[in-house]
Amino acid sequence: MTLALGDPLPAFDLPATDGTRHAVPGEAAATVVVFTCNHCPYALAWHERIVAVARDYAERGVRVLQVNSNDAERYPRDSLEAMAERVARDPQAWPTPYLHDATQEVARAYGAQTTPDVFVAGADGRLAYRGAPDADWEDEALGATWLRGALDALLAGRACEPAETKPVGCSIKWRT
Amino acid sequence: MSRAPRVELLFWDGCPSHPRALADLRAAVAAAGLDPGLIEVREVPDEAAAERERFPGSPTIRVNGRDVVPAGDEPVMLACRIYHRRDGRISPVPDPDDLRAALAAALTEGAS
């Protein structure tokens, strides 16, 4: 299934590495759901840019959730334990909850393809941007400009431009 | 005269990094005065092939059988491989300087 622009973000309620649970929908001026993981160089290269967005927009009511849906049996580095170890090694790098989608149902509901794959909804909970954080994993100076642009547009009551870009990264590791 | 080294690029199609890695490798091979046509490009399609090739992730580049960035104790894995640029940044492809250094070392060995 692939989510279309304007569709409500599929609901979920997932555990985070600290034992708390986080659900969508939730009260927020905008919600960002990022599918990510521990061992993908694209996800790692974009991580700092994404968490900088989470810090910069938190006071404006933007909620950022990072979700790991990879098959942890074939890829043990993506187990909940490995996720918790990663957060514990550098808590400052995680201003967002890091959620575990053990059944992969959330990734399937969103039609997530890669890590990272970014989904953004406004206060109405409907998908307004989907794709990459910015145009180039290699260029840190871009600073997740597509994601920031989408949030700026939503917070100002405008449509996102672009509203869709091609997600770039490692394939989600589906169970076989 | 030195013999041309064996240069292999192994990739898994589930990772999008190999076109960029091949372009970087072609440039490094040409800069070393070698024919980019000598590069052997091989797909690693499944876990059995990954085991056979001792494949630590995509892409993996070997010169005379040696990984241009030694994989250490990385497990065999069908996944994108994590590299570090010489400036410390994480990257899905090796630093071009590491490609050039591996080729230069192979040419030096071949000449001695």
CA distance B29 to B7: 9
Which H or E element spans position A152? helix A145-155
Instruction: Name the CATH topology of A27-171.
Output: Glutaredoxin (3.40.30)
Q: Please report, to the nearest 10 degrees, the dihedral formed by the alpha carbons of residues A119, A124, A128, A131 taken in order.
A: 0
Closest CA to A147 of A119, A166, A172, A122: A119
Contacts of A72 in chain B (CB under 8 A): none
Could you tell me how far CA B82 lies from the centroid of its own chain? 13
Assess contact for A126 and A116: CB atoms under 8 A.
no
Mapping DSSP to helix (H, G, I), strand (E, B) and coil, where does residue A124 land? coil
pTM over 0.90: yes
Contacts of B81 in chain A (CB under 8 A): 41
In chain B, residues 25-64 whose CB comes closer than 8 Å to chain A: none
**Cβ contact A75–B81 (<8 Å):** no
* Phi, psi of A83, rounded to the nearest 5 degrees: -65, -45
CA distance B3 to A121: 59
CA distance A45 to A25: 28
Residue listed under structure tokens 């992969």: A104
Model pLDDT, residue B21: 98
Query: Which of A41, A168, A173 has the CB atom closest to B90's CB atom?
Result: A41
A158 has a pLDDT exceeding 70 = yes
Residues above pLDDT 90, as percent of chain B: 88
Reported confidence tier of residue B109, pLDDT bands at 50, 70, 90: confident
Higher pLDDT, A70 or B2: A70
Model pLDDT, residue B72: 86
CA distance B93 to B59: 7
Q: Decide if the complex's ipTM is over 0.95.
A: no
Residue listed under structure tokens 């870009």: A165
DSSP state of A168: -
B73 has a pLDDT exceeding 90 = no
Reported confidence tier of residue B39, pLDDT bands at 50, 70, 90: very high
Residue-wise pLDDT for A48-67, tens only, equals: 999 999 999 999 999 999 99
Model pLDDT, residue A2: 76
Mapping DSSP to helix (H, G, I), strand (E, B) and coil, where does residue A41 land? helix
- Looking at the complex, report in whole angstroms how far the Cα of residue B77 sits from the nearest Cα belonging to chain A: 8
In chain A, residues 53-82 whose CB comes closer than 8 Å to chain B: 75
B2 has a pLDDT exceeding 90 = no
Mapping DSSP to helix (H, G, I), strand (E, B) and coil, where does residue A7 land? coil
Assess contact for A171 and A114: CB atoms under 8 A.
yes
- Domain ranges (residues) in chain A: 27-171
Cis previous bond, A116, omega within 30: yes
Query: Which of A41, A138, A140 has the CB atom closest to B80's CB atom?
Result: A41
Instruction: Show Cβ contacts of residue A170 under 8 Å, excluding neighbours closer than 6 positions.
Output: A37, A39, A40, A41, A42, A43, A114, A115, B14, B15, B79, B80
Q: Beta A170-171 vs B60-63: how paired, if at all?
A: unpaired
Tell me the average pLDDT of chain A. 97
Helix axes A41-57, A145-155, angle to 10 degrees: 30
Contacts of B82 in chain A (CB under 8 A): 39-41, 44
A126 has a pLDDT exceeding 90 = yes
- Looking at the complex, report in whole angstroms how far the Cα of residue B1 sits from the nearest Cα belonging to chain A: 39
Model pLDDT, residue A152: 98
Residue-wise pLDDT for B92-103, tens only, equals: 999 999 999 999
Closest CA to A137 of A64, A57, A36, A66: A36
Residue-wise pLDDT for A95-113, tens only, equals: 999 999 999 999 999 999 9
Contacts of B88 in chain A (CB under 8 A): none
- Domain ranges (residues) in chain B: 7-111
Tell me the average pLDDT of chain B. 94
CA distance A94 to A86: 9
